[in-house]
Amino acid sequence: MTTTLTPSDLPTSAVDPFSHEVLEDPTGFQAELRDAGPLVHLSRYDVFAMGRYEQVHAALIDWQSFQSGAGVGLSNFRFEKPWRPPSLLLEADPPRHDAPRAVLSKILGPLALRKLREHWMADADRLVARVLAETEFDAARDLAAAFPLRVFPDAVGIPQEGRENLLPYGDHLFNAFGPPNDLVEQGNGRVAELSGWVNAQCARDVLAPTGFGADIWAAADRGDITFEQAPLVVRSLLSAGVDTTVHGLAAVLYAFATHPDQWQRLRREPTLARVAFDEAVRWESPVQTFFRTATTDIEVGGKTVPDGRKILMFLGAANRDPRRWENPDAFDLSRDPSAHVGFGMGLHQCVGQHIARLEAEALLVALARRVETIELAGATRRHHNNTLRAWESLPVRVRPAR
């Protein structure tokens, strides 16, 4: 261990942002963090933190100073062995990052998704019609979790068997970016089994002959990536593509269930579905945090982050920073949320964001057509995760449109 070089004039917080109390409702801590200053020392983990939009945004677009290659969790890959082989996208820097990123950007780009659009819109409509057989149901389970699981694994091209492993794998993966607390310990028991299953789905002969998985292997045939890289790029889809969209959809459904005026606005103007989803991603920030590592001594707000140290970026705090957003705690379809950092920003900005928006649009358009009112019908329950802001249960009552 090196001695701590933390300057004594840096604001310090002893709060554990990964405690159950903060995970249940992080908004109070986030406000404290923003108000403490542009750079704050978190004594619990001896890391640096930023909660203001300006500094989070600046760090996200400065990949040269704020590297991802030492891991985007608390664990520093310079000193600790990663729990799984690092992601070629998330946990890599240029130049190694760039070929896998270019390949995946094309495969998941707006052009490529046009083929899926009609099918996903029709599938969402069928799901919503079936769920509406009841006027009370759990929107987290029956819509937010159900819809991505209906369309995304098929789009990747993995077999049916074992798909129930996708959410538990993602849940553990996102916990593992945090400290080794009780949430990680609870997941450790199944890591080998879940990783074994996920890794096995990345093989060429397991994947369907068409789909994102096959597209990735075809990129290896062309020499755009190597054959060693292909399965790890498929793994990124299975890692980042399910829990994130599930909790993003839950966020937008919760937002509408608690903002009836905004729901009526969406019903009148269903073309707002995409804006609504981005506003929910800003408002709720399904991915709350990621770390970076300083590649040199970096000046942030007049203070210094020493070379090699971890910096925790609070995307959720930045997305509600009153210095950047007017009335930030309001879910409001009138605002332009497009500069939110819920998908990140810069080089690593979510490569799957067009898929996420298409899933959201399909579900919201189907609901807007078929549901007149939606409201909470009982006690909601959060799902705690070291990285994700998530819902376990969202009981809702709907009045179907006539």
Largest Cα span, the chain: 68
Nearer to ligand OVV (CB atom), residue 147 or residue 177: 177
Q: Are 145 and 246 in contact (CB under 8 A)?
A: yes
User: Can you list the alpha helix ranges (DSSP code H) found in 108-145?
Assistant: 110-131, 139
Closer to ligand OVV by CB, 6 or 236: give it.
236
Q: Which residues pair with 382 in a beta bridge?
A: 391
Tokens encoding 375: 């409201």
Residues 230-289 that bind ligand OVV (CB under 6 A): 235-236, 239-240
Pick left, alpha or beta for residue 157 (phi over 0 → left; psi -120 to 50 → alpha; otherwise beta): left
Triad 231, 233, 235: Cα angle to 5°: 70
C-beta closer to ligand OVV: residue 30 or 353: 353
Query: Minimum distance between the CB of residue 355 and ligand OVV, rounded to whole angstroms?
Result: 12
Stretch that binds ligand OVV, among 83-91, 93-101, 322-330, 372-380 (CB under 6 A): 83-91
Q: Which is nearer to ligand OVV, 6 or 87 (CB)?
A: 87
Residue 87 CB, nearest distance to ligand OVV (Å)?
3
* 385 touches ligand OVV by CB under 6 A: no
198 near ligand OVV, rule: CB under 6 A: no
Q: Which stretch binds ligand OVV (CB under 6 A): 33-41, 86-94, 299-307, 318-326?
A: 86-94
Q: What is the DSSP string of 297-334?
A: -EEETTEEE-TT-EEEEEHHHHTT-TTTSSSTTS--TT
Part of the chain binding ligand OVV (CB under 6 A), chosen from 87-95, 130-138, 213-221, 392-400: 87-95
Q: Using DSSP, how many helices (H) and how many strands (E) does the chain show?
A: 17, 13
Query: Hey, what are 199's tokens?
Result: 């890794």
Using CB under 6 A, which of 75, 87, 195, 285 touches ligand OVV?
Answer: 87
Burial 326-349 (b: 16+ CB within 10 A, else e): eebeebbbebebeebbbbbbebbe
Helix (H, G, I), strand (E, B) or coil at 275: helix
Contact positions with ligand OVV (CB under 6 A) in 116-175: 173
- Beta carbon nearer to ligand OVV, 262 or 289: 289
Output the smallest distance, CB 183 to ligand OVV, in A. 16
Residue 89 as a binder of ligand OVV (CB under 6 A): the answer is yes
CA angle 235, 247, 28 (to 5 degrees): 120
Total residues at interface with ligand OVV (CB under 6 A): 8
CB closer to ligand OVV, 65 vs 244: 244
Note whether 90 binds ligand OVV by CB under 6 A.
Answer: yes
**Contact residues for ligand OVV, defined by CB under 6 A:** 87, 89-90, 173, 235-236, 239-240
